[in-house]
Structure 1
Amino acid sequence: MQKLLLLLLLTLIPTLVFAKIKHTIHIPEFDDNDTFETLSVDGSITNFFNNPGSLNARPDLSGTAYNRYDLDAEFQRETFFMETDIACLTDKDSPNSLSALSEIDKDFTIGYRNDVIDLYIEYEHDSPTNHSMIRSYTGIGGRYNDSTTLMDSQLNWLIDIEKVISNNRYGSRPDGSGEANMIYDLHIDLDLPDQFSFSTEQILYTDKHAYTKGSEWDRLFQINYQISPDVILLVYQEVDSFVDIHSPRQVFWGAGAVYEF
């Protein structure tokens, strides 16, 4: 069964059409335990079936995302750390949908870290390459990290709570409506036999104008396979749902490859 899954991954990845991952899921640590400096390509299998719930290629919700390229780097010295992430999207309807960028998202985080707690300030800036709308936010937050053993397997988890302190049109729902205020994140990694692992991330947004209840709930479920010390293959499902209003959710299956250098 495990060999069959690996064969399926290797067969699918060259032929996929890709879509936007709104929130890049973290991946388990690589075997060599280096600082994360990774390049990933991932996207949506659901788009292959022309699913109307596919995510968009720009912050103004235009286009249909096709390919996604992500570059991530992290630096740490003693208790000080910096993280940066650059994600680029292409539009399925563009004449050159493989390489013509439609959106560039930049995220920068700086903070304090010890064995279990991260305190940080984050800036995210999402901009299209051929449209005028730009969205961004600055937030302050804290992450609590811990690990345990579950059925003889390593279980790592973190809880992340972030308060948005400056907001430029960064929405609190899948359709871009509202104004993001609080972001709550639960992330879990569970090691499985034979270099497989399972990751899940549950992200809840609140709206500044209705901050006592959630406005968006994003769920990600991901299977990882470490094919080599530097390469991870993955398949995942993302479900972006409205919490406080009735509106169709966005659901898609995706696949990707991550390379650490």
Structure 2
Amino acid sequence: MSAGESTRVDCHIKVLNDRVVEYARRAGIDVLVYAPHFKRLPEIRERAAAYSTDAVQVIPAREVFTGSWQDRKHVLAIGLEEPVPDFITLEGAMAAFDRQDAVVLAPHPEFLTVSLTESDIREYRDVIDAIEIFNPKHLPKHNRRARKLASQFELAPFTSSYAHLPRSVGVSHVEFGCSIETEADLVEALQTNERRRVVYDNGRKRWMTTASEIGHLVYENTWEKVDRLLLSGTEPTHPDHIFYEGKFDDIAVY
């Protein structure tokens, strides 16, 4: 990609395989940000590198679950140098991101019970780099509310396919007015408010994506959740896991 080119970025996907990369290529997406649930940063980095191609660059990220299952808030971080676990306080997570000068994004704000609220955004206004103003899981009223929050707090916008299913990739993206080839390039574009355009499909593909992704959301928060909580034991990204060497014990919620 030569200097001065624009770059299309899907700022948040949950699933990554050959089909996802092919869907992205067909849709003209240049960069995918891969942030799966309950995967450690080194594993995410390895998988992102394995699926990056000349046409589609995959950049690793973490969507951290702050708080408890009953009151969890998702925060998306890009550019982390050190792992940050789930199930820590929101204050602790924001401090960890800030120490690493990572990009901090607010995905699906005020959506259900898994998102940053208006008061959270107000409190961490100086840490948050951008707010998601379109998410295909949202109904129109949720996207309108998200746009209002971005305007209210004068925060830059972003969007994503939030793809849990491969065919969702391509429904939305951010077009940056610069070349983005690396994780560092994307971090700089997001932190410097590089010129951008939020693009999304609001037709048949968007509503098909919404229906299928909401169906997946129902599954993810019922049987899969019960299996994870009752049968799977400690998650790899739990702060008590030996991988984190006790560094987050003072801000763990479990």
Q: Relative contact order (alpha carbons < 8 A, sep ≥ 6): 1 or 2 greater?
A: 2
Structure with bigger strand share is 1
Which protein has the larger Cα radius of gyration, Structure 1 or Structure 2? 1
User: Do the two structures share a fold, i.e. TM-score over 0.5?
Assistant: no
TM-score, normalised relative to structure 2: 0.31
TM-score, normalised relative to structure 1: 0.30
Structure with bigger helix share is 2
